[in-house]
């Protein structure tokens, strides 16, 4: 089995958590984030995002989705709890905050209800948050009446070639201490629709989007995938070296003759409207 030396420094000994976080954030921004551009664009096209749109991105990470909305003329702002990702987004001249009720409240009214937006998105955060219903309810509260919430999840596992790689995150995590990552828990028919109804939103349709995960080489593939954050619990429990080893093994069927790696994945988006 081929090996790979990932730029995490693990081969040279333990890496401080802050350094790992910075490297992971850079890998997300430089490698992984672009894989979801077809998803972002499909949502923006469907909802005709433009100069009349105010977009709030929940869990916006380093902000590429917001940049694309801004390129269409929309007013954009984001929420991102991870400091390293938030810093990268701010380096892109985006307004990205850490706390919705503290940082996005009207000026001088910290702790009160922040301003609402005509479109609230959760592109990456819904599938990995501990309480997805709470996230949808927050999105509903932050949406103007008549505005929309756009929620994204992985598609059916049989339509996602990355499913085998993601199973590494679940298998190597400590099931007694942290809930294993379950990326396809919301892929079941009706799962997102039920949350939409419970949050008081009106279902407005949705769609499926093909998002190939394509990398020039194996090292980039491992770095990109580990930057998603979904392998963190596995790395804490089983060690980063073991996680990298098993990710490499899981990627073997998707390596091409030129050394590149390509996996076809389907993502699903659901659009809901706040009616009052």
Question: Residues 151, 192: contact at Cβ < 8 Å?
Answer: yes
Report domain extents, the chain: 13-157+182-214+266-273
Superfamily of domain 13-157+182-214+266-273: Vaccinia Virus protein VP39 (3.40.50.150)
Question: Residues 174, 184: contact at Cβ < 8 Å?
Answer: no
Question: Residues 116, 142: contact at Cβ < 8 Å?
Answer: yes
Task: Indicate if the pLDDT at residue 215 is higher than 90.
Answer: yes
pLDDT tens per residue across span 187-199: 999 999 999 999 9
Burial class of 37 by CB neighbour count within 10 A (0 to 12, 13 to 18, 19+): middle
Q: Between these two residues, 244 and 14, which has the higher pLDDT value? A: 244
Q: Which of 69, 65, 90, 82 is nearest to 20 (CA)?
A: 82
Burial class of 242 by CB neighbour count within 10 A (0 to 12, 13 to 18, 19+): middle
* Strands, E assignment, 48-142: 54-58, 75-79, 96-97, 117-122
Structure tokens at 134: 């709470």
User: pLDDT category, 176, cuts 50, 70, 90?
Assistant: confident
pLDDT tens per residue across span 46-70: 999 999 999 999 999 999 999 999 9
Q: What value does the mean pLDDT take over residues 115-125?
A: 95
User: pLDDT category, 4, cuts 50, 70, 90?
Assistant: low
pLDDT tens per residue across span 232-254: 989 999 999 999 999 999 999 99
pLDDT tens per residue across span 123-156: 998 888 889 999 999 999 999 999 999 999 999 9
pLDDT reported for residue 11? 43
The dihedrals phi and psi of 151, each to the nearest 5 degrees, come to -115, 135
Cα separation of 182 and 276, whole Å? Answer: 33
């Amino acid at each position: 089995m081929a090996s790979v030396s990932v730029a995490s420094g693990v081969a040279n000994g333990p890496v401080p958590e802050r350094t790992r976080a910075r490297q992971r954030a850079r890998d997300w921004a430089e490698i992984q984030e672009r894989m979801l551009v077809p998803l972002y664009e499909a949502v923006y096209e469907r909802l005709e995002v433009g100069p009349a749109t105010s977009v709030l991105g929940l869990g916006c990470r380093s902000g590429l989705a917001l940049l694309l909305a801004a390129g269409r003329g929309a007013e954009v702002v984001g929420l991102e709890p991870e400091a390293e990702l938030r810093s990268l987004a701010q380096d892109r001249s985006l307004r990205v905050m850490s706390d919705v009720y503290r940082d996005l409240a009207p000026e001088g009214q910290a702790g009160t209800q922040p301003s609402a937006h005509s479109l609230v998105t959760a592109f990456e955060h819904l599938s990995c948050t501990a309480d997805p219903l709470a996230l949808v309810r927050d999105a509903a509260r932050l949406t103007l009446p008549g505005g929309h919430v756009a929620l994204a999840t992985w598609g059916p596992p049989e339509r996602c070639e990355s499913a085998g790689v993601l199973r590494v995150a679940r298998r190597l995590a400590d099931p007694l201490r942290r809930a294993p990552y379950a990326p396809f828990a919301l892929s079941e028919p009706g799962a997102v629709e039920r949350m939409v109804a419970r949050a008081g939103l009106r279902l407005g349709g949705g769609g499926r989007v093909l998002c190939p995960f394509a990398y020039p080489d194996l090292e980039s593939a491992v770095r990109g995938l580990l930057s998603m954050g979904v392998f963190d619990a596995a790395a804490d429990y089983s060690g980063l070296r073991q996680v990298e080893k098993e990710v490499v093994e899981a990627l073997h069927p998707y390596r091409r003759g030129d050394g590149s790696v390509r996996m076809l994945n389907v993502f699903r988006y659901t659009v809901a409207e706040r009616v009052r």
